[in-house]
Amino acid sequence: MSLTPARATALLLLFVLGVPVGAAGALLQGGWFPGGLLLALLGAAGLFHGGARLTRGRSGAVAPAAGWLVAVILLTASRPEGDFLFGAGLGSYLFLLGGMAVAVMCATLGLSQQPPASDARLGK
């Protein structure tokens, strides 16, 4: 698909939307460990899959995943004061690796395309 101004705007908005989803997921997974982790990964999966459906292409899943990754990487880094958002627990690693796995799945799974109406009945 060609990059039209509308498509570029949609991809930019999806990237920007990936940042707060990543930040909210980082806070949520640590706050309510088992349920929060699942909710954070489901929210990320919804955004990634929804972006792919919206743009009808893989770039729609990659753009919010890139925004999600930027937010998560920035929140992973420790500050000079020694503060950090992610602990070294199982939940943090599951969120990081699970989010990346969800992004890869949403970007690589093929979107099912319906054949055009004229091709649907070949014998006609």
**What confidence tens digit (pLDDT) does each residue in 3-15 have?**
888 889 999 999 9
* C-alpha span between 75 and 71 (Å, rounded): 6
DSSP string, 28-87: HHHHSHHHHHHHHHHHHHHHHHHHHHHHTSTHHHHHHHHHHHHHHHHHHSPPTTS--SS-
Q: Please tell me the predicted confidence (pLDDT) of residue 116.
A: 59
31: number of Cβ within 10 Å: 12
18-45: per-residue pLDDT in tens? 999 999 888 888 777 788 889 999 999 9
Q: Element (H or E) spanning 107, and its range?
A: helix 90-108
